[in-house]
Structure 1
Amino acid sequence: MKDHEHRHGHARDGETHDGHSHGVTADADRRWLSLALTLIVVYMCGEVVVGVLAHSLALISDAAHMLTDAASIVLALVAMRLASRPARGGYTYGLKRAEILSAQANGVTLLVLSAWLAYEAVRRLIAPPEVTGGLVVITALVGIVVNIAAGWAIAKANRSSLNIEGAYQHILTDLYGFIATAIAGAVVLLTGFFRADAIASLFVVVLMLKAGISLVRQSGRIFLEAAPAGLDPDILGGRMAATEQVVEIHDLHIWEITSGQAALSAHVLVTPGGDCHAVRRALQLHLREAYGISHATLQVDHLGEDRTGTGPLLHITTRPDGSAKDGGEPPHEEDIHGPVHRPGPHTP
């Protein structure tokens, strides 16, 4: 967890401590993505024509994958536009998860397309058509250059967004596919072994499956409101409980609103007569500096007040700007959900 703390403990260049901004602006992201989209669409149209003329499934599969590249970038651009809209009405977080929907759509598309290409590749392994190796090699080499340029453009955008990372994975997978296609074309040209084209297609399929499964899994974690990858809630809860004057932490929930934007809520019990406001500030500072969590809602009560109902009740909720607001009834002990964290000699 020290490595995790080190990663989140300092803002990256151009990034504020709240984790909501980065050195690359949204407008710059859109420009880089639009450049990559133009490169891909222009090349893809030419590749389809050459693939049909050369009878190359590897080229056609690469072109089909480039179509999904283009679709993934279009989805990313649309999702970025939606996610930038301010929160209003029933959408209290805005439409930030539109980016995660886009990432999941990219992953599912990769999986579906890989299944179709795998079927075609196996069919061509059994009955390989004649492939024009020279056309395959030349087209694949041009494709490598185009994908490097498109990948460079997307890499200049904010890849901490799972949405943009999904588009980048499409491009990267396609680059590897073109390398395999160029090798297959050279084998066909030099040896006449036509099955090399189908074998290259299967290699592309494996890469597509790997990227698709990763995107679906990561976006699924966010939709299921799992804790951010690499962050252990039990360790975090133990460290919160080790804060001075804290007696117990329960109802601890950690999730991601969208990629790179974590949120946390918890019920904190402090020693009778303890300074609830000071505890809240200390916990908020620790969460922000050690874990990069600035969106934290903490209900802070004195020990015993939430069980007996005696004495003044103090319910403190942190706003994003760090200020506090009071009011509300804390839950009774029987309403506690999840593990309870208390300070002790074995606190992580």
Structure 2
Amino acid sequence: MHAHGHSHGHDHSHAGHSHEHHADMTSADSRRRVAIAAALTAGFMLAEIAGGLISGSLALLADAAHMFTDAGSLILAWIGYKLAERPADPHRSYGFARMKILAAFTNGVLLILLGLWIIWEAVHRLLAPVEVMGGLMLLVAAGGLLVNIAAFAVLHGGDREDLNMRGALWHVAGDLLGSVAAILAAGVILWTGWTPADPILSALVAGLVIFAGVRIMRQSGHILLEGAPNELSVSEIVQDLSANVAGVARVSHVHAWSLTESRPLVTLEVTAKPGTNPEILRRDVKARLASAFKVSHATVEVMSQPE
């Protein structure tokens, strides 16, 4: 029988208050950037709706619809950041940090649905072409492009590793591409009178939007399903600790997952060699996990072999 060292590692190894403070500052900056982008997007959306209805352009209406969902998605992202700041409580020991990931997953789903709707409308327009006012379409699309560039610039300066931020960024990038497509379609219509350019270019942009949505949904879904982070390999953790931490006889029951995209978590059991101090071994294992794998939150249980 192995004797427990009663070292269940619940004194989790954090990187210190400076790490948490940095995370809070990053989240506050991201929240502010998302709020600015939401205001810009919602403000111009009404102009695009009016322009699309008057000109008869699907590209403008699709972009306006995209802006409408973007405004909602950016607000959702903002709520995700706000809720993630709430402290832990007895019912949620990790707090609400996962709200950002839930918001990112929802945004991914919305991107896919939006892209499918645009493609559906594009097919109908190709089957039953309508007259499009190229001049008005060009004017409104150019204004939309400027607004989207401003919103993209605001978001692009944020945390690139943040899935919630990336989801918001892709929404605005889709809007930006939609404005470019509308400008190109307007140019073709004004130059040649060929109205199918409007739905065709809209469908191409929709394809890019769907691709982005699938990618964000897969990444956020992986975290929600407690998948191991891409940068962490259970077998590598076992080999590294066995080779580089004195006193380790065996490493077992290793579980790696993420609370958010930037907060990996690890739990494991270490069997100590005879004569090894369990408390010192646990600290050494946590220090190695932090230095070699950037894991700042680990739960380590130490088992002592009989002498």
TM-score normalised by the chain length of structure 1: 0.79
Match of residue 248 from structure 1: 250
Match of residue 36 from structure 2: 35
1:138 CA displacement: 2.0
C-alpha distance in 1 between matches for 2:149 and 2:292: 36
C-alpha distance in 2 between matches for 1:16 and 1:182: 50
C-alpha distance in 2 between matches for 1:140 and 1:289: 50
C-alpha distance in 2 between matches for 1:150 and 1:75: 16
1:145 CA displacement: 1.3
Match of residue 218 from structure 2: 217
Match of residue 229 from structure 1: 230
* 1:281-300 CA distance string (max 9 Å, x none): 22212211222211100001
Contact residue 18 and residue 292 of structure 1 kept, 8 A: no
SS in 2 for 1:21: helix
Match of residue 71 from structure 1: 72
Match of residue 184 from structure 2: 183
Match of residue 316 from structure 1: none
Match of residue 51 from structure 1: 52
Contact residue 232 and residue 256 of structure 2 kept, 8 A: no
Match of residue 146 from structure 1: 147
1:50 CA displacement: 0.2
1:22 CA displacement: 4.2
C-alpha distance in 2 between matches for 1:92 and 1:20: 19
Q: Within 5 Å, give how 1:312-331 maps onto structure 2.
A: none
C-alpha distance in 1 between matches for 2:63 and 2:293: 41
1:148 CA displacement: 1.2
Match of residue 11 from structure 2: none
Identity within the alignment, %: 38
Range with greater deviation from structure 2 (152-161 or 79-88): 152-161
C-alpha distance in 2 between matches for 1:57 and 1:73: 23
Match of residue 341 from structure 1: none
C-alpha distance in 2 between matches for 1:104 and 1:20: 26
Match of residue 6 from structure 1: none
* Structure 2 unaligned residues grouped into runs of 5+: 1-14
Contact residue 31 and residue 82 of structure 2 kept, 8 A: no
Match of residue 290 from structure 1: 292
C-alpha distance in 2 between matches for 1:275 and 1:188: 78
C-alpha distance in 1 between matches for 2:281 and 2:102: 37
1:151 CA displacement: 1.1
* 1:181-220 CA distance string (max 9 Å, x none): 2111111110111000001111121111111101110111
Match of residue 156 from structure 2: 155
Contact residue 51 and residue 140 of structure 2 kept, 8 A: yes
Range with greater deviation from structure 2 (274-283 or 36-45): 274-283
Contact residue 20 and residue 261 of structure 1 kept, 8 A: no
Residue of 293, 299, 302 corresponding to 2:301: 299
Amino acid at match of 1:139: V
Give 4+ residue runs of structure 1 displaced > 6 Å after superposition.
none
Amino acid at match of 1:228: P
TM-score normalised by the chain length of structure 2: 0.89
Residue of 264, 274, 277 corresponding to 2:276: 274
Match of residue 167 from structure 1: 168
Residue of 256, 259, 265 corresponding to 1:257: 259
Amino acid at match of 1:48: I
- Name the count of aligned residue pairs: 292
* 1:28-79 CA distance string (max 9 Å, x none): 3332222111111111110100011111111111111111111111001111
Match of residue 107 from structure 2: 106
SS in 2 for 1:183: helix
* 1:243-297 CA distance string (max 9 Å, x none): 2221211110011112211110000112111232332222212211222211100
Contact residue 272 and residue 302 of structure 1 kept, 8 A: yes
Range with greater deviation from structure 2 (51-60 or 175-184): 175-184
Amino acid at match of 1:211: A
C-alpha distance in 2 between matches for 1:233 and 1:186: 55
C-alpha distance in 2 between matches for 1:22 and 1:159: 13
* 1:124-159 CA distance string (max 9 Å, x none): 112221111122222222212111110111223334
C-alpha distance in 2 between matches for 1:278 and 1:27: 38
Contact residue 222 and residue 258 of structure 1 kept, 8 A: yes
C-alpha distance in 2 between matches for 1:149 and 1:170: 14
Match of residue 343 from structure 1: none
SS in 2 for 1:229: coil
